[in-house]
Amino acid sequence: MIDVSGLPSPKNAPAVGACVRIERPEKGLARIVLDPPHRSLPVFDLPLLRDLDLALIEIERDTSIKGLVITGRDTRTFAAGADIDAIAALTDRESVARVVEIGQNLFERIDVIGATRPGFTSVAAIGGAAPGGACELALACSFVILCDTKESRIGLPETQLGIVPGWGGTTRLPRRIGLPRALEAILTGKLYPAREALKKGLVDRLCAPEDLLRIAGEVALGRMRLPRRSRGLATLFVDQNPLAAAVIASKAKEQVMARTLGKYPAPLRAIDIAARAARTSTRASFTAEREAVVDLATGPVAKNLIRIFGLSESAKKLKLLPDGKSAPVAAQVGVLGAGVMGRAIASSAAERGAWTRLFDIVPAALDTALIEHRADVAERLKRRKLEKNQAERAIDQLDTTRELIGFARCELVIEAVAERLDVKRSVFQALARQMADDAILATNTSSLSVDAIAADIPHPERVVGLHFFNPVKRMPLVEIVRGARTSPETIARCAAFALALGKTPVVTKDCAGFLVNRLLGPYLDESLRLFAGGIEAGRLDRALLEFGMPMGPLALLDEVGFDIAQHAAQSLHAAYGARMTPSAVLNPLVAEKRLGKKTGRGFYEHTRDRKAKPRLAADLAQIDPAGEARCPVMTDEQIAERAVFAMLAEAARALEENVVASARDLDLATVFGMGFAPFRGGLLAWADTLGARNIVAKLEEISRQSDVAARAGGPERFEPCALLRELARDERTFHGA
Amino acid sequence: MSRVPTQSPGRRVVIVAGWRTPLIRAGGAFAREDAGHLGAAIARETIARSGIRVDDIDEVIVGCAGPPHDQANVGRVIGLRAGVPERVPGRTVARNCASGMEAITSAATCIEAGRGDLYLTLGVEMMSRFPLIMGERLTKFFARLSSARTLAARVATIASLRPSMLAPRIALMEGLTDPISGLIMGKTAEILAREWSISREDADRFALESHARAKAARDAGVMKREIVPHLPLGATPDSHALEHDDAIRDNQTLEQLAKLKPYFEKPDGRVTVGNSCGITDGACALILASEDKARALGLTPLARIRSWSYAGLDPARMGLGPVFAASKALREAGATMDDIGPIEINEAFAAQVLACAKAFDSDAFAREHLERDAKLGTLDMARVNPNGGAVAIGHPVGCTGARIVLTAAHELARSQKELALASLCIGGGQGGAVILERAS
């Protein structure tokens, strides 16, 4: 029996042997069923590993068994991989090494039985998702059979969580499907749908769920033969050729470095192991896997990535109604306003299966919306993200109207009309007359108050903010803005809708800028002031990229559009006063209609060619600094700190005011809403590594700097709030109790 | 004397909503649509605007003369594409040119019989999508090719291919030819023109007027009451939704019409492409309900269906179908032509409508063919197709029957009379007529 003492195990772990059962449907055939009673979705926690060990002991002893099928409790459930929470909890290297070793050895024994018992065949029979550890178990079997259903998914997402597949996956996958495809799977962490998994060679056969156990049994007993996958000469010339493997590995590393700037060690470690997998012994490769997991899992990046994964998973609970059931997802949706936001929201809703009705008074805007939607769907069809019939349905599901009629049956309407209170109120009034009393009226406003919009609408409990970010299809966060009278049911239904769109919801209070824009405001404005104060634009953007932001602040301003940014800054100023005083540097640019990407020029020159990297505009030196004082001499790090601390000071205030429920929510919003360095775990997680006392000291230092001290609102922006001072005094953290 | 059906109170049938796409020249902007998508688009809009719940629909009935080969029961496809629940059945009905009317009257029959209370009905036709068909010789060639076993046999088979075998059969032309009389529709109109002394100029003048009326109605915005703008599938970037019927000729003159050569009977025929219906694509949806159901759902009826009838006649003179059908429908309604306000007679051919007008006005015809002692009545041509007709806006075969009922319903609401007539001739020798009554 394996020794699990001292390793983390769930509190409700069942009795020994309860998680796995062995069925013997016929002579010579054994079926191992993963069915832990304490998990609705089985994970390879210690009780399951322990019982799998017992089951394998039985198989090893009983030499009459010639065929082994490993399957889940039903054809929609296999297992969700390793116990992520347990891994996150481990801090000592030795424990991690033991957990890795337990899994490696267990799975390897399946392989060993096959090698030592003549005629023995093992088959993984999978329906539903098989990510990570579950996939690694499958790879240890002779054959993998996957149900041809849309729930079926298989892959190795470990690198996305900052570790490498450590239960033999990094070793076995390159041997099975060749190095190039294995690297693609491991580095993207993609969970492949059934057809694609078959094509890539991750699985050997697909079948209907009803046939799964029968066919798996036939294959295990050798009555049905599956072709052995062979890469033919490619095995020799590519996978086992040190030169070819080295070239592939170095190319892959180059791409990873370009994407991550070396902030994420896991993909690099995975490349090293995978590139040697076909040429080294299993034992040596397993040792390399183990060492990598030990280093990575005990390091900060994996902890942060796993934490964020956990946060995004718990955001899914927002869709639960007060009675604990999941809120229904709106099947009929209305969107008002076919501007950039409205039409993208409508298109996403239609693509994700809601009957969607889009209103605008401008016919051409509706035409553009339909044409863009159809082009998007055609693109997704081309990339095989959608089947033909799904694409046709997605196209059918978006209708447009020039009149505000026909919304009676919508369960949810999202308005994205002009940012004017009177306009928004009048469309909601008109809708309230034709829609059901419990139909949700959501506003995508970014600068108006939800309560003000809801003021005289009948049944204000169904009025809510649903704040999407631009570009809607790429930005994963949705802020659900709770007005003073918004009901919990409305929040849950909005969360269910956001989740159905593949977004991560976070609930915020109804304050100016809500959360993300409120934080972005000082961050972008501070960046503009650095630029105006003489910091070279390219250096500024690079400094923040280096910090871990997904794009530099000036590049982001180009994406957002200067007019939009200016408007947002002004409304923050109006709401929060001095500390949000906007820099004047954009004013002349807006006046001459130089607005960023949408006009072709901002801080960068944008060409129509999508692949071309935008270049810095040549005339940046001529931009008027708008009276900004010269910045002192700063290091790149100090530049990044200035911008990020402006945001951090505001985040502390927002938390103090309960704009979001917790520091966890705030971190989630920063990562998903602005791409705040995921490897740092979110803004406040990063702040906690610095310590409140250091933060206060740093903020005070910044506000004393000559350029900050000299300008209106400068010291106020960097003034530590009461919460921050309290944390510093008590030596507590944002995330501490 | 034919049987006169009676409607029981509460099972009277009302039209609660109806909308259509613009009718667009075949091969034009709608060419990349298909009947399933186009029909579903107008169905969704009609459902949304009516405010009904899709769960209340009892059945979807779609009229289509030539369903796409991959959507034999296009009615079912339209229902599902329109978001009608899967449990609600859908069927496709056909009565050639009256297919759209057949959808309406089928639903009305069901409502009267108490089989259901709320029906989504459509007429749809994608004339652009009538295919070219391989000729018989080419079909046989492919059959031989696929059965040729040896290389030599295959080479020999391929060598037997002749250019003449490649000539396709045009499904649309064959579809517009009546197999019983062997006449293409235009020839039946020529027969009527000769027998009823309709001159080429009469027909051309009628055509000119049809365009003028359609243009006037369009320019006055009258058609906004029934047309929903539609951006077709395949629309290229920067293109715009179509708002108007696009076959109307704004600057049509008598001289231009006179220059056209007879299309079906050269050189002396009177029927030209200028005084015949155009070939267009389009779809029209109506929601029908029992009067009780409409009341219960708080729906405001557009019109009530008072009676309807189909009649058969000589296929070679199918153009007179409206006279036969109107006679029966009036009898069922217990009404005379004096009670009728607006009239729609589908303009398959200008000469055919003019022949109908003469037959309406003929005592002899009434005695010989209509079991009546005296003529049906003189038509006031100002009230016939007041917004123009198929000569101007075209005749998407399966759509038209629904379209003229919708147009007549709107015209009735504008008129002082209590009844309206919508009728059409049907290829193969039939007529169809629906009499609408002002909804109280």
- Please tell me whether residues A95 and A209 are part of one structural domain: yes
Cβ contact, residue pair B241, A396, below 8 Å? no
Query: Chain A residues with CB inside 8 Å of B54's CB?
Result: 409
User: Under a CB-based contact definition with an 8 Å cutoff, are residues A423 and A453 in contact?
Assistant: no
Which run of H or E residues covers position A297?
helix A282-297
Instruction: Looking at the structure, tell me whether residues A163 and A219 fall in a common domain.
Output: yes
Q: Give ∠ CA B399-B403-B408 in degrees, rounded to 5.
A: 160
Of A298, A333, A352, the residue that ends a domain is: A298
> Cα–Cα distance between A528 and A267 in angstroms, integer?
34
CB pairs under 8 A between A and B: 60
Whole-model pTM?
0.92
A366, A399, A407: residue with CB nearest B44: A399
Instruction: Indicate yes or no: CB of A393 within 8 angstroms of CB of B81.
Output: yes
Q: Is A467 a catalytic residue?
A: yes
CA distance B156 to chain A (A): 40
- Residue A317's Cβ-count burial label (10 Å; 0-12, 13-18, 19+) is exposed
A359 in B contact zone (CB under 8 Å): no
In the set A373, A467, A573, A606, the catalytic residue is A467
In this structure, is residue A330 part of a structural domain? yes
A392-440 pLDDT tens trace: 999 999 999 999 999 999 999 999 999 999 999 999 999 999 999 999 9
Supply the residues of B annotated as catalytic. 97, 395, 425
Residues of B in contact with A411 (CB under 8 A): none
Residues A272 and A351 placed together within one structural domain of the fold:
no
A689 CB neighbour count, 10 Å cutoff: 13
In a domain, A458, yes or no: yes
What domain range includes position A330? 320-510
Which pLDDT score, from 0 to 100, does residue A384 have? 84
Q: What is the pLDDT of residue B5?
A: 60
Chain A closest-CA separation from residue B228 CA (Å): 9
Closest by CA position to A506, among listed A719, A256, A312, A228: A312
Contact A364 B44 (CB under 8 A): no
**Percent of chain A as helix, strand, coil, to the nearest 5:** 55, 15, 35
Pairing between β-strand B280-290 and β-strand B13-20 as defined by DSSP bridges = antiparallel
CB pair distance less than 8 Å for A396 and B229: no
Cβ contacts of B229 on chain A, cutoff 8 Å = 363, 402
DSSP assignment of A323-381 equals TSSBPPPPSEEEEE--SHHHHHHHHHHHHTT-EEEEE-S-HHHHHHHHHHHHHHHHHHH
Q: CA A19, CA A102: separation in Å to the nearest integer?
A: 17
Contact B51/A409, CB-based, under 8 Å? yes
Which residues in chain B are contacts of A364 at CB distance < 8 A?
Answer: 240
pLDDT in tens, A68-119: 999 999 999 999 988 888 888 888 999 999 999 999 999 999 999 988 999 9
Q: Which among A366, A374, A408 has the least Cβ separation from residue B241?
A: A366
Q: Where are the alpha helices (DSSP H) in B196-343?
A: 200-219, 254-259, 291-296, 321-333
Residues of chain A with pLDDT under 70: 230-233, 236, 737
Contact between B235 and A367 using a beta-carbon 8 Å cutoff: yes
> Residue A184 domain-assigned?
yes
Question: Which residues in chain B are contacts of A401 at CB distance < 8 A?
Answer: 45, 48
Which chain B residues contact residue A357 at CB under 8 A?
Answer: 48
Q: How many residues does chain B have?
A: 440
Cis ω on the peptide bond leading into residue B267 (within 30° of 0)? yes
pLDDT score of A240: 79
Q: Are residues A670 and A557 in the same domain?
A: yes
Task: Give the C-alpha separation, B247 to A233, whole Å.
Answer: 64
State the pLDDT at residue B7.
62
B236 contacts on A by Cβ (under 8 Å): 371
Q: Are residues A464 and A580 in the same domain?
A: no
Nearest CA in chain B to A436: B51
A407 contact partners, CB below 8 Å, separation of at least 6: A334, A357, A359, A413, A431, A434, A435, B48
Q: Are residues A190 and A133 in the same domain?
A: yes
Question: A505 with A521, same domain?
Answer: no
Query: The CATH number of the domain where A469 resides is what?
Result: 3.40.50.720
Res A727: pLDDT: 96
Please name the residue that has the structure tokens 């086992």. A240
Q: Kindly determine whether residue B37 and residue A395, on different chains, have CB atoms separated by under 8 Å.
A: yes
- Radius of gyration for chain B, computed over Cα atoms and rounded to the nearest angstrom: 22
In this predicted structure, what is the pLDDT of residue A3? 77
Which of B42, B80, B240 has the highest number of chain A CBs within 10 A, making it the mutation to test binding with A?
A: B240
A279, A240 Cβ separation under 8 angstroms: yes
Same domain, A75 and A206: yes
Nearest in space to A178 (alpha carbons), one of A110, A275, A292, A280: A275
Could you tell me if A294 and A442 lie in one domain? no
Nearest to B239 among A357, A367, A405 (CB): A367
Q: Which of A332, A363, A409 is facing B240, going by the closest CB pair?
A: A363
Q: Do A367 and B241 touch (CB under 8 A)?
A: yes
Q: What is the distance, to the nearest Å, from the Cα of residue B431 to the centroid of all Cα atoms in its chain?
A: 12
Q: Which helix (H) or strand (E) covers residue B369, if one does? A: helix B363-369
Last residue of a domain, one of A510, A535, A556: A510
**DSSP annotation of A77:** B
CATH number, domain at A624?
1.10.1040.50
Q: Quick check: A375 and A350 in contact, CB under 8 A?
A: no
Mark whether A478 and A611 lie in a shared domain.
no
Cβ atoms B42, B283 nearer than 8 A: yes
Give the B-side interface with A, CB within 8 Å.
37, 40-41, 44-45, 48-49, 51, 53-54, 81-83, 229, 231, 233, 235-237, 239-241
Q: Are residues A533 and A681 in the same domain?
A: yes
CB B2 within 8 A of CB B43: no
pLDDT for A231 equals 67
Spatial distance between the Cα atoms of A116 and A687, rounded to a whole number of angstroms:
55
User: Collapsing DSSP states into helix, strand and coil, what is residue A468?
Assistant: strand
A674 occurs within a structural domain: yes
Token duo for residue A613 = 């990297």
- Judge whether A308 lies within some domain: no
Query: B233, A374: Cβ pair inside 8 Å?
Result: yes
With a cut of 0.85, is the ipTM above it? yes
Residue ending a domain, choose from A480, A510, A540: A510
As a whole number of angstroms, the distance between CA B35 and CA B282 comes to 9
> Are residues A449 and A431 in contact, defined by beta-carbon separation less than 8 angstroms?
no
Question: Which residues of A fall within a CB distance of 8 Å from B51?
Answer: 406, 408-409, 434
Mean pLDDT, 10 residues at a time, over chain B (440 residues)?
A: 59 96 96 96 98 97 95 97 97 97 98 96 94 85 88 89 84 85 93 97 98 98 97 94 97 96 93 96 98 96 97 97 98 96 97 98 97 96 97 97 98 94 96 94
Domain CATH code at residue A170 = 3.90.226.10
User: Which residues have a Cβ under 8 Å from the Cβ of B160 and sit 6 or more positions away?
Assistant: B141, B144
Residue A716 located in a structural domain: yes
- pLDDT at position B1: 43
Flag whether A12 is in a domain.
Answer: no
A417 within domain boundaries:
yes
A24 shares its domain with A53: yes
Burial-class residue A622 by CB neighbours within 10 Å (0-12, 13-18, 19+). exposed
CA distance B52 to chain A (A): 8
pLDDT score of A490: 97
SS3 of residue B29 by DSSP: coil
Rounded to an integer, what is the distance from CA A611 to the centroid of its chain?
Answer: 24
Q: Which residues pair with A191 in a beta bridge?
A: A155
Return all residues near B22 (Cβ < 8 A) that are at least 6 apart. B227, B229, B230, B242, B243, B244, B245, B246, B282
Check CB contact under 8 Å for B37 and A408: no
Please state the domain count of chain A: 3
Count other Cβ atoms within 10 Å, centred on residue B151.
8
Beta bridge partners of B420: B436
Q: Do B231 and A370 touch (CB under 8 A)?
A: yes
Identify the burial level of A149 via C-beta atoms within 10 angstroms of its C-beta, where 0-12 means exposed, 13-18 middle and 19 or more buried: middle
